[in-house]
Amino acid sequence: MKYDPIDTAVVVIDPQNDVLSPSGRNWDVLGASVTENRTVENLVEIFIAAAAGGYAVFISPHYFYPTDHRWLFNGPLEADELRTSTFARVGPLRLDGFVDSGADWLDQFKPFIEDSATVVASPHKVWGPQTNDLVLQLRKRRIDKVVLCGMLANICVESHLRDLLEQGFEVAVVRDATAGPRHPTHGDGYRAALVNYSFLAHAVPSTAEAVAAMANESQRAPHGAAASAMRAGCIQMRGPR
């Protein structure tokens, strides 16, 4: 899989405190994997590489609102998220208490996500992008290839991978820019995800490999605003599919 800032984007799933910060509600089951993989540091490297190479960045966040507590049935992890107020917000149009909450971005990511260019999709409500506008946002920019990373490896990342593949995208999953839970009964979610990535994804690079590939391809393509302008020009020339 070759990366090109004209038709390739970085998609980061759930880059939020509750799954990546020691103060998050799920650190007990995620902390070891996040720490061993250097997930936060590697995500920062991906953000930096995307900015340097002119790659579009999309965030697929996870939020729960008070009305979601009225759901009549949930899977085990959904039930646990609601019980623990993971990714909780006071409402879809309110930001009371949002800053530095479990639903907020990690501080390390804010300069990249809040740069007025990064696309923050509507929240996915279970695991995959079927319940948000991520695919629409990608299609509207003629994005065909995705560099996928974020949380959790065996849940939302794998669900996004599977749906993006079904939607016709080429997808590379950055294997150490994610992490998974370690459950005393169910086992290591991260290792389970790696098995499925190997069967499904078009590539499963390390962060170092992904960053190098992005840099190599971007050297042969326009950077930054020029890449965005070229992308817009390609959309006009190619017309509707």
- Work out whether strand 119-120 and strand 56-60 pair parallel, antiparallel, or are unpaired: parallel
SS3 of residue 48 by DSSP = helix
What span, in angstroms and rounded, lies between the C-alpha atoms of 75 and 81?
10
Burial state string for 48-86 with b = 16 or more CB within 10 A and e = fewer than 16 = ebbbebbbbbbbbbbbbbeebeeeeeeeeebeebbeeeb
CA distance 96 to 63: 14
Token pair recorded at residue 168: 């016709």
Residue 142 makes CB contacts below 8 A (sequence gap 6+) with 7, 231, 234, 235, 238
CA 10 to chain centre: 8
Amino acid at 41: E
CA atoms within 13 A on the CB side of 82: 16
Distances, alpha carbon 8 to alpha carbons 59, 90, 171, in Å: 14, 34, 9
Residue 18 CA: distances (Å) to CA of 27, 84, 103, 117, 196: 7, 10, 6, 24, 25
- 173's CB contacts (< 8 A; 6+ apart) are 148, 149, 157, 161, 197, 201, 203, 204
Q: Among positive and negative, which fits the CA dihedral 18, 54, 36, 77?
A: positive
Residues contacting residue 143 through CB under 8 Å, at least 6 positions apart: 7, 8, 9, 56, 169
Find out whether 160 and 14 touch, Cβ atoms under 8 Å.
no
Domains and CATH numbers, the chain: 8-238 (3.40.50.850)
Q: Where are the beta strands (DSSP E) in the chain?
A: 8-13, 56-60, 119-120, 145-150, 170-178, 182-183, 187-188
- Match 């980061």 to its residue by tokens: 12
Find where tokens 């991978």 sit. 161
pLDDT of residue 235: 43
Per-residue tens of pLDDT for the chain, all 241 residues: 999 999 999 999 999 999 999 999 999 999 999 999 999 999 999 999 999 999 999 999 999 999 999 999 999 989 999 999 999 999 999 999 999 999 999 999 999 999 999 999 999 999 999 999 999 999 999 999 999 999 999 999 999 999 999 999 999 999 999 999 999 889 999 999 999 999 999 999 999 999 999 998 767 765 555 555 555 554 444 444 3
